[in-house]
Amino acid sequence: MYIVHFTDAKQIPSEDRRMLLGGKGASLVEMSSDLGLAVPPGFVITTKAFHRFQKDKSLSFLENELVQAMAVIEASTGRSFGSPENPLLVSVRSGAPVSMPGMMDTILNLGLNNQTSSGLEARSNFNFAAECTNRFESMFNEIVIQKNSINITHIPSDVWEQLHFAIEAVFHSWNSPRAITYREVEKIPDDYGTAVTIQAMVFGNTGRNSGTGVLFTRNPSTGMNELFGDFLPNAQGEDVVSGSHQTFGIEEMQEIAPDIFLELSEVAKSLEVTTADMCDIEFTVEEGRLWILQNRVGKRTPTAAIRIAVEMAEDLSFPLNQEGALNRVTPDQLESALEMNQISSSSEVLAKGLGASPGVATGSLVFSADSAVEESDKGADVLLVRPETSPADVHGMAVSQGIITATGGLASHAAVVARGWGIPAVVGVTELTFADDSVSFGDRIFSAGEVITLDGTTGEIFYGNTEVQISKLNPLVDVFLSWLEAAVEILQIPTAKDASPEEKLRVIQNIHNLK
């Protein structure tokens, strides 16, 4: 079998789910089957199918299973795929065994054609149906027709053809340039492949009682034990993660939809304990009903990684001990946390946005990912400045000292990738505007190559190469270092006594992994 339903995966051992179902699929199975959360019905096309497709170059082996699986979603929702009267729409998403946020392709609202669009309009209203249709056609054109080598020139009216082409496109996106670049940076094996998740659509764009958002169970920039994220009323999820819209902070959701916020808060607590780590949760509110779309371990900054590990291990009710905390932080994260800088208070502030990924970065301005790579190859330190970033920008992000975007919130693509890679970033700089070959921060115009500095903690942007100073260590970093020294003594590692903290951590983690 190449397809596993969310509710039928209990026969798969938990430790095998991630490799077979991908991170997204494994999470959806756990939330749906094990935790009984409100997850839209769906199924996973496994990584086993990906490898078969790579060999056959065809989905014919999947045909019968796919028809049967879609029938199960139809029965769960009371809607029919391709029905003009009551159409079922689905999302088609990737899901690698290791999180690769935004690096592969997604298509929403699949199943729309002239007949089903009319049925959707009759069931809702013209504006909603038109928006869903425009979004589907835009995504299908960009992802299936333009990006991939699939030989079609228009969107098929047959919804089953749409589904087949979308699945192929997601499989193909595993080897897209941006996905390859991300795997190189993250050291993710190329032979893992991706699963595909097919899920009934729920809609956050049906009006004032709907919305969508991303919630982190702790602050991924600082590690503080507080809910953190973005919410956007009357919108779909891509509007939040793409960074194309200015979002509300998650705390503002408490005022906009207090009952849903309370329910979401309880779900967040449950998922954090179950995951035993900080969670990154995607959700949609459809006409006042909360749906959980995804849960994964959240990307975080080095300082946040240490704070979260220590506070979780110190909480006796939480399922993490000191040994687990030492394994939770990478040596590179520890090294970065010990070298955090801050800006001198006398520096001239140009503009202010949201501090999305802490740290100080100075560099020459570049306005495209390709320019970032080109200038970096010449030996220049660069700051990538964009209206918003997308997965197509990752090759430029990877070589940049810092990132600035005009729009987007703290859960946008730029923010999430920057935090995961330890790159200082400021997003949502409303004073930032773009011309053909320059940018403006308020009334100050800057050309490519000019130098500025950003502070990803405060969200401030400064003129020129500013004076920096070493910031004081977070006290919890000292706690982590004390645990590290105690572990060296307990394990009696003579070669680690005079080593750097990150070298000691690497030795201890190697010993733990051999147990």
* Same domain assignment for residues 104 and 240: no
pLDDT (tens digit per residue) in 260-280: 999 999 999 999 999 999 999
Inter-residue contact 30 to 274 (CB < 8 Å): yes
* Same domain assignment for residues 360 and 266: no
pLDDT band at 34 (very low <50, low <70, confident <90, very high): confident
Single out the residue in 300, 317, 352 at which a domain terminates: 300
pLDDT (tens digit per residue) in 159-181: 999 999 999 999 999 999 889 99
* Same domain assignment for residues 218 and 329: no
The mean pLDDT value for 20-31 works out to: 93
* Same domain assignment for residues 22 and 151: yes
The mean pLDDT value for 139-151 works out to: 81
* Least confident among 106-120, 219-233, 468-482, 499-513: 468-482
| More confident position, 151 or 163 | 163
Task: Count up the domains in the chain and report the number.
Answer: 4
CA distances from 184 to 8, 189, 292, 368 (A): 34, 8, 31, 21
E-assigned strand segments in 27-130? 42-45, 90-95, 106-110
* Same domain assignment for residues 113 and 197: yes
Residue 149 pLDDT: 58
Q: What is the four-CA torsion angle of 185, 22, 390, 219, rounded to 10 degrees?
A: -80
* Same domain assignment for residues 195 and 253: no
* Same domain assignment for residues 64 and 180: yes
* Same domain assignment for residues 327 and 220: no
**pLDDT exceeds cutoff 80 at 345:** no
Single out the residue in 150, 179, 201 at which a domain terminates: 201
d(C-alpha 415, C-alpha 86), whole Å: 38
Which alpha helices (H) appear in 378-500, and where do they start and end?
394-397, 413-421, 475-491
* Same domain assignment for residues 214 and 317: no
Single out the residue in 280, 300, 320 at which a domain terminates: 300
pLDDT band at 285 (very low <50, low <70, confident <90, very high): very high
**pLDDT exceeds cutoff 70 at 286:** yes
* Amino acid letter, residue 70: M
* Same domain assignment for residues 115 and 171: yes
pTM, 2 dp: 0.84
d(C-alpha 508, C-alpha 49), whole Å: 38
Domain that holds residue 103: 1-201
| More confident position, 147 or 362 | 362
The mean pLDDT value for 445-452 works out to: 96
Mean pLDDT of the chain: 91
* Same domain assignment for residues 191 and 216: no
pLDDT band at 444 (very low <50, low <70, confident <90, very high): very high
* Same domain assignment for residues 244 and 116: no
Domain with residue 158: its CATH number is 3.30.1490.20
Residue 495 pLDDT: 65
Domain with residue 445: its CATH number is 3.50.30.10
Residue 492 pLDDT: 81
Domain with residue 275: its CATH number is 3.30.470.20
